[in-house]
Amino acid sequence: MDLPSNTIPVVSTLASPFDSSPTSQDNNGTRKPLSLWPGIYHSPVTNALWEARSKIFERLLDPPLDAPPQSQLLIRTPSQSRTTILYNFSTDFILREQYRDPWNEVRIGKLLEDLDALAGTISVKHCSDDDSTTRPLLLVTASVDKMVLKKPISVDIDLKLVGAVIWVGRSSIEIQLEVTQSAANGAGSSVDEEDSVALRGNFIFVARDSKTGKAAPVNRLSPETEKEKGLYEKAEERNANRKRKRDVVIKEIANGGKGVSSRLEALLAEGRIFCDMPALADRDSILLRDTRLENSLICQPQQRNLHGRIFGGFLMQRAFELAFSTAYAFAGVMPCFLEVDRVDFLRPVDVGDFLRFKACVLYTEAENSDEPIINVEVVAHVTRPELRSSEVSNKFYFKFTVSQEVKATKDGFRIRKVVPATEEEARRILEHIDAA
For residues 213 and 362, membership in a common domain is answered with no
Report residue 185: phi and psi, to 5°: -95, 170
pLDDT 10s digits, 123-172 = 988 988 876 677 888 888 999 988 999 999 999 999 999 999 999 999 99
Q: Give the mean model confidence (pLDDT) for residues 305-331.
A: 92
The residues facing 354 across adjacent strands are 298, 383
Residue among 261, 422, 291 at smallest CA distance from 362: 291
Asked whether residue 365 is assigned to any structural domain, the reply reads yes
Per-residue model confidence (pLDDT) at position 253: 54
Asked whether residue 241 is assigned to any structural domain, the reply reads no
Residue 304 near residue 431 (C-beta atoms within 8 A): no
Per-residue model confidence (pLDDT) at position 395: 96
For residues 160 and 266, membership in a common domain is answered with no
Asked whether residue 237 is assigned to any structural domain, the reply reads no
Q: Give the mean model confidence (pLDDT) for residues 69-90.
A: 90
For residues 15 and 164, membership in a common domain is answered with yes
Asked whether residue 250 is assigned to any structural domain, the reply reads no
Q: For the chain, give the mean pLDDT.
A: 84
For residues 78 and 155, membership in a common domain is answered with yes
Asked whether residue 236 is assigned to any structural domain, the reply reads no
What is the band of 305 on the pLDDT scale with cuts at 50, 70, 90?
confident
Number of domains in the chain: 2
Residue 42: is its pLDDT beyond 70? no
DSSP class of 6: T
For residues 190 and 261, membership in a common domain is answered with no
For residues 69 and 172, membership in a common domain is answered with yes
For residues 334 and 212, membership in a common domain is answered with no
Asked whether residue 135 is assigned to any structural domain, the reply reads yes
For residues 317 and 271, membership in a common domain is answered with yes
Helix axes 44-52, 54-61, angle to 10 degrees: 100
Q: Tell me the pTM.
A: 0.85
DSSP class of 100: B
Quick check: helix, strand or coil at residue 341? strand
For residues 101 and 218, membership in a common domain is answered with yes
For residues 2 and 89, give the distance between their C-alpha atoms in angstroms, rounded to a whole number.
Answer: 17
For residues 301 and 212, membership in a common domain is answered with no
CA-to-CA dists, residue 316 to 236, 327, 343, angstroms:
26, 16, 8
What is the band of 187 on the pLDDT scale with cuts at 50, 70, 90?
very low
Q: Give the mean model confidence (pLDDT) for residues 307-319.
A: 90
Residue 40 near residue 47 (C-beta atoms within 8 A): yes
For residues 222 and 291, membership in a common domain is answered with no
What is the band of 413 on the pLDDT scale with cuts at 50, 70, 90?
confident
Asked whether residue 233 is assigned to any structural domain, the reply reads no
30 or 205: which leads in pLDDT = 205
Q: Give the mean model confidence (pLDDT) for residues 385-412.
A: 86
pLDDT 10s digits, 264-279 = 888 898 888 988 898 8
Per-residue model confidence (pLDDT) at position 150: 93
Q: Range of 153's domain?
A: 7-226
C-alpha of 138 from chain center? 18
Calculate the dihedral angle through the C-alpha atoms of 277, 278, 280, 282, rounding to the nearest 10 degrees: 130
Per-residue model confidence (pLDDT) at position 1: 53
Which element (helix H / strand E) includes 296?
strand 293-298
Q: How many CA atoms lie within 13 A of 173 on its CB side?
A: 34
Find the angle CA(182)-CA(186)-CA(191) to the nearest 5 degrees.
35
Q: Side chain identity at 165, as an amino acid letter?
A: V
Per-residue model confidence (pLDDT) at position 182: 85
For residues 352 and 312, give the distance between their C-alpha atoms in angstroms, rounded to a whole number.
Answer: 15
340 or 368: which leads in pLDDT = 340
- Longest CA span, the chain: 74
- Identify the CATH number of the domain in which residue 286 sits: 3.10.129.10
Residue 376: is its pLDDT beyond 50? yes
Residue 222: is its pLDDT beyond 90? yes
Q: Which residues contact 113 (CB under 8 A, 6 or more apart)?
A: 42, 43, 45, 311, 313, 314, 316, 317
Residue 21: is its pLDDT beyond 50? no
Q: Side chain identity at 322, as an amino acid letter?
A: L
Task: State the burial class of residue 368 (Cβ atoms within 10 Å of its Cβ: 0-12, 13-18, 19+).
Answer: exposed
What is the band of 404 on the pLDDT scale with cuts at 50, 70, 90?
confident
For residues 371 and 380, give the distance between their C-alpha atoms in angstroms, rounded to a whole number.
Answer: 28
What is the band of 429 on the pLDDT scale with cuts at 50, 70, 90?
very high
For residues 217 and 300, membership in a common domain is answered with no
Asked whether residue 242 is assigned to any structural domain, the reply reads no
Percent of the chain with pLDDT over 70: 80
